[in-house]
């Protein structure tokens, strides 16, 4: 099997797929067009295909001999972002954009499936190609609940993410925690409204909220080990209707992110500060906390396998293992919590091509020259795991 040659022969198809997905972005659980294209493509590769989790797709490749089952995953949803790129394949939908690279993820995995399907006689075991909807908001758990890890049982999983902070063509891979858990909170502080000129007759929820936000910073700087990265951010605040009226309540929303296993302890400290501060200001409160993503923790053995494959694909000089851990969340963590897994980054950052904008930015774009690398990583990663001695 001449992998590089076969991928090169499909390079234009790879780019066309990516640009088509980019031009027609669909939000989570609305990926109907995307899902149909994926399913039809996999059927043409003679894979067993089924729909799952509303708009998700699973393609199963059975090798010529029995063996383990590995899962390769791509996410397919877009974001509610208005694209500002001036390109021929710019999003045609107002307020929707592939601003995170999922269009590239989908295209790379489809082409990898096509190449691998031609060589099923050389494969021991099975490969599940998973196209996940709604990665931005917990699509993985729904796929798991609907049995994506069963029939056949998945033994290991691999996922990759196109990554603009890393230089084009380089691969970032590490052991252990690599992407943070993310929990989203909504805090409502209830006071007593009144006239702005007579604050002593009121209980000011804004004043109380400011003290809460200030006090919470002590968790990150004084109550959590500096070697256990923790970020608490307040990103939305709503209160009041007039400059002369003290409002009845204040609503604050934000997130708690941990690159370690100690979220529950951080949560308890967070709630303690809110409770004590509100008591001190004679205010009441209501707190809601929702899990966005759990901690993404790479299995050491699987991560080492990715490194071995990357050495072959891009060479040792293009592998980075430092400064790749991030406080952003990733839904692949749900798979990694259940089967040995590794998640890694493929750099698309190229200043000359203007592909170094941050993810979720209206000018985000990817360096398409790296797409064949992602395809090869998928192919070699699956073969290395299944055909190992």
Q: Which residues are annotated as a binding site for Mn(2+)?
A: 100, 102, 136, 161, 360
Residue 121: CB atoms within 10 A of its CB come to 8
CA dist., res. 172 & res. 307, Å (int): 9
DSSP label of 79? B
CA dist., res. 167 & res. 371, Å (int): 14
Q: Is the separation of the CB atoms in 347 and 199 below 8 Å? A: no
- Residue 381's contacts (CB-CB under 8 Å, 6 or more residues apart) are 70, 72, 158, 305, 306, 309
Helices 371-386 & 11-23 angle (0-180, nearest 10): 110
- Residue 117's contacts (CB-CB under 8 Å, 6 or more residues apart) are 45, 46, 47, 61
The annotation places the binding site at: 100, 102, 136, 161, 360
Q: Output the CA–CA distances (angstroms, integers) from residue 10 to 76, 114, 122, 130, 375, in the order listed.
A: 21, 9, 20, 21, 10
Q: If you compute the radius of gyration of the chain from its CA atoms, what whole number of angstroms results?
A: 24
CA dist., res. 357 & res. 363, Å (int): 6
Element (H, E) at 238: strand 230-239
């Amino acid at each position: 099997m001449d992998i590089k040659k076969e991928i090169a022969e499909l390079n234009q198809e790879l780019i066309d797929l990516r640009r088509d997905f980019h031009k027609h972005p669909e939000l989570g659980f609305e990926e109907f067009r995307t899902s149909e294209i994926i399913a039809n493509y996999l059927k043409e590769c003679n894979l067993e295909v089924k729909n799952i989790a509303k708009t998700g797709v699973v393609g199963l490749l059975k090798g010529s001999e029995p063996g383990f089952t590995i899962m390769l995953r791509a996410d397919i949803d877009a974001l509610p972002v208005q694209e500002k790129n001036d390109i021929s394949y710019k999003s045609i939908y107002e307020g929707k954009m592939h601003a995170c690279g999922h269009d590239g993820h989908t295209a790379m995995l489809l082409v990898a499936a096509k190449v691998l399907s031609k060589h099923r006689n050389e494969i021991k075991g099975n490969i599940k190609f998973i196209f996940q909807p709604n990665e931005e908001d917990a699509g993985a758990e729904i796929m798991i609940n609907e049995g994506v890890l069963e029939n056949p049982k998945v033994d290991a999983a691999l996922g990759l993410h196109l990554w603009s902070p890393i230089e084009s063509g380089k691969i970032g891979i590490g052991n252990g925690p690599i992407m943070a858990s993310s929990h989203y909170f909504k805090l409502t502080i209830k006071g007593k409204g009144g006239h702005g000129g007579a604050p002593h007759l009121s209980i000011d929820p804004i004043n109380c909220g400011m003290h809460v936000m200030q006090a919470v910073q002590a968790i990150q700087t004084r109550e959590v080990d500096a070697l256990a990265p923790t970020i608490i951010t307040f990103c939305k605040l709503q209160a009041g209707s007039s400059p002369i009226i003290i409002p009845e309540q204040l609503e604050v929303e934000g997130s708690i992110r941990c690159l370690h296993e100690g979220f529950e302890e951080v949560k308890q400290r967070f709630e303690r500060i809110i409770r004590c501060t509100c008591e001190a200001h004679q205010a009441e409160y209501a707190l809601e906390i929702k899990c966005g993503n759990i901690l993404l923790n790479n299995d050491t053995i699987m991560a080492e396998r990715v490194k071995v494959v990357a050495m072959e694909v891009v060479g040792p000089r293009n592998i980075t293992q430092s400064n790749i851990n991030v406080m952003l969340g990733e839904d692949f963590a749900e798979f990694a919590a259940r089967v040995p897994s590794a998640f890694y980054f493929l750099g698309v950052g190229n200043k000359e091509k203007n592909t170094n904008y941050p993810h979720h930015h209206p000018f985000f774009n990817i360096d398409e020259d790296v797409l064949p690398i992602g395809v090869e990583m998928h192919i070699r990663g699956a073969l290395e795991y299944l055909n190992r001695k």
